[in-house]
């Protein structure tokens, strides 16, 4: 009887240990590029629906305050992974050649930059050439402002002057007429202008990709230390994330509920529009269909590296081969997230 009890107890203990191991979750600290808005559903949904958990990951997603900050925090080790603009990542690499833990991009999410110039129709601005001699406004760290020299050169714009402001004042200053135009992400600035009483039909939008500037935008970045120590975790993260992206693209409206769980004061209708605009302008693009979701074209990335080096006046040239590592991407079938044409 004692032997049977001992065996039963041993079996229970073994089962408990096995269950504990099966449920063990690897923590991953992840930072977004911005606050909880429509596009953050891409990350919040796979958390809420348990895709990361099913992959053995305990993912904590925090809001950010700009791509530059996200790159710096991943480099410092404060975060394991993040979501940041590729140009900001390139700039960090080129300006900090001796930094020991420079993040690398492992999955392209925004295949086309959402950066744009926005103006009011009453300004008379309708095409890039009309910006010559005008006063533009944007925060100094704005991705569109930093990349404007590329847009400027591609469209032969001259004589532009800049006014800097904090992000919340950008659209307000355009609506008031303090500046002639602003740079910003199209799906952010347009909706912010609407919130300030400007009608959509009164806004002129000049998207960078439509005027000769085909930059990659936001990618998932990883600390090299984390990549080296936990490569399987990175692979599991990207696979679970891709599953979530497919679901978000299929039903954006339903996905916004997961943003509401993190920020109860968001405007659901507004963020649903923002998410749909982000998907259409940066994810489900012709280039994404051609190159494949999550991936990059080597020649296009190399050209971007040259453009960023020149436009940002970096200390050293950007090396495209160093900032990108696609070896951790999931299988092709797992990256099949785009709607069928």
Tens-binned pLDDT, residue by residue, of the chain (341 aa): 444 554 454 544 444 444 444 457 999 999 999 999 999 999 999 999 999 999 999 999 999 988 999 999 999 999 999 999 999 999 999 999 999 999 999 999 999 999 999 999 999 999 999 999 999 999 998 889 999 999 999 999 999 999 999 999 999 999 999 999 999 999 999 999 999 999 999 999 999 999 999 999 999 999 999 999 999 999 999 999 999 999 999 999 999 999 999 999 999 999 999 999 999 999 999 999 999 999 999 999 999 999 999 999 999 999 999 999 999 999 999 999 999 87
What pairs with residue 181 in β-bridges? 119, 136
pLDDT for position 341: 78
CB 329 within 8 A of CB 293: no
Torsion angle of C-alpha atoms 112, 150, 136, 63, degrees rounded to 10: 40
pLDDT for position 66: 87
Strands (E), 244-337: none
Superfamily of the domain at 115-210:
Periplasmic binding protein-like II (3.40.190.10)
Longest dimension (CA), the chain: 94
* Domain 26-111+216-335 belongs in CATH node 2.40.50.140: no
Task: Return the SS3 of 166.
Answer: coil
pLDDT for position 8: 56
Q: Which of 105, 95, 184, 176 is nearest to 139 (CA)?
A: 184
- Which sequence spans correspond to the domains of the chain? 26-111+216-335, 115-210
CB 279 within 8 A of CB 249: yes
Q: Do domains 26-111+216-335 and 115-210 have the same CATH topology?
A: yes
């Amino acid at each position: 009887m004692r032997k049977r009890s001992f065996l039963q107890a041993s079996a229970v203990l073994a089962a408990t240990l096995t269950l504990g191991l099966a449920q063990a979750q690897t923590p991953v600290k992840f930072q977004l590029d911005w606050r909880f808005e429509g596009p953050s559903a891409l990350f919040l949904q796979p958390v809420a629906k348990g895709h990361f958990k099913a992959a053995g990951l305990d993912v904590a997603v925090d809001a950010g305050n700009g791509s530059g900050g996200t790159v710096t925090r991943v480099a410092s080790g404060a975060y394991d992974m993040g979501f940041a603009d590729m140009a900001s990542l390139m700039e960090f690499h080129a300006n900090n050649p001796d930094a020991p833990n420079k993040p690398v991009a492992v999955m392209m999410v925004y295949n086309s930059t959402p950066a744009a110039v926005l103006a009011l129709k009453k300004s008379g601005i309708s095409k890039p050439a009309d910006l010559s001699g005008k006063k533009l406004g944007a925060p100094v760290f704005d991705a569109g402002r930093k990349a404007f020299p590329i847009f400027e050169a591609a469209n032969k714009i001259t004589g532009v002057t800049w006014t800097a402001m904090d992000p919340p004042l950008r659209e307000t200053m355009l609506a008031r007429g303090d500046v002639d135009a602003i740079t910003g992400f199209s799906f952010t600035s347009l909706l912010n202008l609407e919130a300030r009483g400007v009608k959509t039909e009164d806004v002129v939008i000049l998207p960078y990709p439509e005027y000769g500037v085909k930059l990659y935008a936001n990618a998932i970045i990883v600390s090299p230390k984390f990549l080296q120590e936990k490569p399987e975790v990175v692979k599991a993260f990207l696979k679970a994330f891709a599953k979530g992206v497919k679901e978000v693209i299929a039903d954006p409206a339903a996905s916004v509920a997961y943003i509401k769980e993190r920020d109860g004061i968001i405007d659901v209708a507004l963020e649903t529009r923002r998410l749909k605009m982000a998907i259409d302008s940066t994810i489900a693009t012709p280039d994404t269909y051609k190159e494949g979701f999550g991936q990059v074209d080597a020649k296009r990335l190399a050209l971007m590296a040259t453009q960023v080096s020149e436009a940002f006046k970096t200390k050293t040239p950007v090396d495209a081969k160093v900032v990108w590592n696609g070896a951790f991407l999931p299988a092709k079938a797992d990256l099949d997230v785009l709607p069928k044409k």
